[in-house]
Amino acid sequence: MGRSVTLVGEGAHGGRRASLTIAPAGAGAGVVFNVGGAEIEAHWSRVDASKLRTRLAGSGVSVSTVEHLMAALAALGVDNALVLLDGDEVPAMDGSARDFVSAIDEAGFAPLAAPRRRWRVAKSVRVSDGAGWAELRPAPAGLRLDVEIAFASPVGRQRLSLDLTPENFRRELAGARSFGFLHDAERLWREGLALGANLDNTLVFDARGAVNQQGLRFADECVRHKMLDVIGDLALAGAPIIGAFRSYRGGHALNIALLEAAARAGALTPEFERARGEIPVEAAHRPSP
Ligand SMILES: [Zn+2]
């Protein structure tokens, strides 16, 4: 990243206001959250809660709802960043990753003169929970995503397949908002969740459809948001994954369980890619005509 940029907003679950600064970090640092001086690396082994959002904990502090910010960083190719937070939850902004994309664009990109680390899926791994499942399979290049959801009407079944590129993320996924159901609200509030959820940061459905006045941003906004969540959760592998991801009725808990299972099975092998903007050695040494 080129420079620091700050965002301010309320958390969707805790409902508290926080200021978040995304700052450049050196090659190999990964994404690290700094909460009141305590550092937590953005890694699946730090996840301590995954119901409706992904929360990281360590050094006596926690940071909730990291997934939309993580998705924007990963999808735009930011491998290293220091995220300073003066609260315990990443601001929800409009419930999508749009504001995080704008902030990263504003900060700019600084290519680092170091090879980029990647995880290649070397063998298939699958985890399941009831009717839901998630899997990673080997693929020649990039990250291919295939996500399917199945809810009661009016959301219903939705499925989307996409190759993750910065362009696809910006155009197809970044604007898709968190969603919820009106009939779940009271139960979630009792559990201390969704306390900051409102129509400005959540797409809310009742039996007939979206209650938000402006309606849907995409006809299949829900599956697009689920895919955004997948990208954010998979970013907790600590480096981009080369492979094919697929899930049916997945969620944060299954995404994190999949990373854990992949690590345990030795299914992810490290690989290094030349840094962006770096001159290939062959070209640099080629004699001029
Ligand atoms: Zn989400």
pLDDT in tens, 167-202: 999 999 999 999 999 999 889 989 998 899 999 999
252 is an active site residue: yes
Residues 210-232 have a mean pLDDT of 97
Distance 107 CA to ligand 1 centre (A): 23
Distance 236 CA to ligand 1 centre (A): 14
Cβ-proximal residues to 279 (8 Å cutoff; 6+ apart), any chain: none
- pLDDT digits over 19-71, tens only? 999 999 998 899 999 998 999 999 999 999 989 999 999 999 999 999 999 99
Distance 23 CA to ligand 1 centre (A): 23
Cβ-proximal residues to 238 (8 Å cutoff; 6+ apart), any chain: 30, 41, 42, 43, 117, 119
Confidence band (pLDDT; 50, 70, 90) for 274?
low
Higher pLDDT, 135 or 195: 135
Domain architecture of the chain: domains with CATH: 5-273 (3.30.1700.10)
Confidence band (pLDDT; 50, 70, 90) for 275?
low
Distance 241 CA to ligand 1 centre (A): 20
pLDDT above 60: residue 283:
no
pLDDT of residue 282: 36
pLDDT of residue 281: 39
Mean of all residue pLDDT scores within the chain: 92
pLDDT above 60: residue 279:
no
pLDDT of residue 197: 92
Distance 227 CA to ligand 1 centre (A): 9
Provide the token pair at 257.
């369980």
Residues 97-119 have a mean pLDDT of 92
pLDDT of residue 276: 52
Confidence band (pLDDT; 50, 70, 90) for 139?
very high
Distance 266 CA to ligand 1 centre (A): 28
Distance 191 CA to ligand 1 centre (A): 18
pLDDT above 50: residue 163:
yes
Residues 200-215 have a mean pLDDT of 94
Residues 74-94 have a mean pLDDT of 96
Distance CA 148, CA 223 (A): 7
Q: Which of 45-54, 65-74, 106-115, 217-226 has the lowest mean pLDDT?
A: 106-115
Indicate which residue of 43, 183, 252, 285 is catalytic: 252
